């Protein structure tokens, strides 16, 4: 076994036996790891209260090969415990960000920049700010960019010609953008759509702190990014945490409205 010390963020936990937990975490150097915290659910455990989703940790792991369950030997806080949010939307978006970090990870090797991106995104919630969906959508776009899968807003996916100053469409099947004149199908994009996508594609989540969008623009941006992620990020699915924001009685499995 190999003993390592690393910074990590807890993504989620699962019960194991009567008192233990399986902890999924994103580590700064080791990438996505799953470890067993023995006795963590015991009221007297030294791990008690330190394994909530989003908690910043310094962790000591016994690694058992590249995959499987590792052993969590020690943990300590490396920052503040995430504060509780006054709004359901903020809670859902914070948890959705943790889910996407897991989906955007590679079990074989760490994804360069993913841990730093998650840190940047979670910084938005440290002061109980209520920033909404703009930073979240930028976070989604940044994950695509880390994987080299962010579609171009400069060149047509069908012809390679410049998209500058011309009417464009989003092609759901390809998860890409093209000149409107070349395809009769797809989603027509208004100038506001294009301007918003440029902001999302070019900025880190924290750079869009305080930026708001109306409900209709949010719906369109959410749909476009959901379709791009579904097309280009293996294993992606809509974060379950966002289901908290669905109106009562709405059908599960759709992107947020």
Q: What are the tens digits of pLDDT across the range 72-120?
A: 999 999 988 877 766 889 999 999 999 999 988 876 678 999 999 999 9
Domain containing 36 equals 2-77
* pLDDT tens, residue by residue, 63-75: 887 667 899 999 9
User: What Cα–Cα distance (Å) separates residue 63 from each residue in 5, 35, 77?
Assistant: 10, 9, 20
- Whether residues 136 and 68 share a domain: the answer is no
- Whether residues 44 and 107 share a domain: the answer is no
- Whether residues 51 and 94 share a domain: the answer is no
- Whether residues 67 and 106 share a domain: the answer is no
Beta strands 69-77 and 31-37 are parallel
Per-residue pLDDT band for 254 (boundaries 50, 70, 90) equals very low
Residue 253 within a domain: no
214, with CB counted inside 10 A (0-12, 13-18, 19+), is exposed
pLDDT at 257 over 50: no
Contact 26, 104 (CB under 8 A): no
Contact 25, 78 (CB under 8 A): no
From first CA to last CA, the distance across the chain in angstroms is 47
Of the ranges 77-91, 102-116, 167-181, 220-234, which one carries the lowest mean pLDDT score? Answer: 77-91
* pLDDT tens, residue by residue, 121-152: 999 988 766 678 999 999 999 999 999 999 99
Annotate the chain with three-state secondary structure: CEEEEEEEEEEEEEEECCCEEEEEEEECCCEEEEEEECCCCCCCCCCCCCCCCCCEEEEEEEECCCCCEEEEEEEEECCCCCCCCCCHHHHHHHHHHHHHHHHCCCCCCCCCCHHHHHHHHHHHHCCCCCCCHHHHHHHHHHHHHHCCCCCCCCECCCCCCECCCCCEEEECCCCEEEEHHHCCCCEECCHHHHHHHHHHHHCCHHHHCCCCCCHHHHHHHHHHHHHHHHHHCCCCCCCHHHHHHCCCCCCCCCCCC
Residue 252 within a domain: no
How many domains is the chain partitioned into structurally? Answer: 2
Instruction: Report the C-alpha gap between 172 and 227 in whole angstroms.
Output: 6
Beta bridge partners of 102: none
Per-residue pLDDT band for 173 (boundaries 50, 70, 90) equals very high
State the average pLDDT for the chain.
Answer: 90
Last residue of a domain, one of 77, 110, 135: 77
**For position 61, which CATH number holds?**
2.40.50.140
């Amino acid at each position: 076994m190999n003993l390592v010390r690393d910074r990590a963020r807890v993504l989620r936990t699962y019960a194991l036996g009567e008192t233990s937990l399986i902890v999924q975490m994103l580590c700064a150097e080791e990438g996505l790891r799953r470890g067993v915290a023995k006795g963590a659910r015991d009221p007297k455990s030294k791990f008690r209260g330190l394994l909530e989703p989003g908690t910043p940790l310094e962790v000591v792991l016994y690694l058992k090969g590249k995959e499987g369950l590792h052993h969590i030997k020690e943990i300590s806080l490396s920052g503040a415990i995430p504060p509780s949010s006054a709004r359901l939307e903020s809670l859902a978006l914070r948890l959705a960000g943790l889910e996407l970090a897991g989906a955007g990870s590679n079990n074989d090797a760490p994804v360069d920049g993913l841990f730093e991106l998650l840190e940047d995104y979670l910084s938005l919630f440290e002061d109980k700010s209520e920033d909404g969906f703009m930073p979240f959508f930028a976070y989604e776009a940044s994950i695509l960019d880390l994987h080299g899968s962010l579609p171009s807003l400069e060149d047509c996916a069908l012809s390679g010609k410049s998209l500058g100053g011309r009417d464009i469409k989003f092609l759901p099947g390809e998860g890409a953008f093209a000149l409107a004149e070349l395809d009769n199908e797809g989603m027509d994009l208004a100038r506001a759509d294009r301007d918003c996508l440029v902001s999302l594609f070019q900025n880190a989540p924290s750079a869009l702190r305080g930026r708001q969008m109306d409900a209709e623009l949010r719906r369109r941006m959410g749909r476009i990014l959901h379709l791009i992620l579904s097309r280009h990020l293996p294993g992606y699915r809509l974060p379950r945490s966002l289901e908290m924001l669905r109106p009562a009685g709405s059908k599960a499995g759709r992107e947020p409205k």
